[in-house]
Amino acid sequence: MSLKIIVSTCIGIVVGGIAGWLINSATVGKYNVINATCSVINAAVDNKLLAQDQVRSLGQASQKHLLNTAAGDAFQLDEQQIQAASTHSNCSQFMVGMSSH
């Protein structure tokens, strides 16, 4: 193999790794954080460890601790999404709480 092919392959691997990491951080990582958190919140409400009307307050309290983190950023909603959030969805109400300013 020539040196040019080896260098090109190494550069491709590095660029591909960086692109993959960026895509994962922007999409899959965010989805995983939301999915895991919503599952825990639903389990807590189902097992009566947390009342449904407390979920939004939990989001507000969590937002203070997760401000400017990747986990906190995953839950940010814009004003239109906040207005459209279901009052019957634990996950939506947690996200509304996390998005409060």
pLDDT in tens, 33-60: 889 999 999 999 999 999 999 999 999 9
Residues of the chain where predicted confidence (pLDDT) is lower than 70: 1, 101
Q: For residue 82, count CB atoms less than 10 angstroms from its CB and return exposed for 0-12, middle for 13-18, buried for 19 or more.
A: middle
Q: At what angle do helices 55-66 and 90-98 cross, to 10 degrees?
A: 40
Residue 26 has a pLDDT of: 74
Domains in the chain, number: 1
pTM of the model: 0.73
Residue range(s) defining the domain that contains residue 84: 3-98
Residue 101 has a pLDDT of: 66
Residue with tokens 């300013």: 101
Residue 90 has a pLDDT of: 95
DSSP state of 26: I
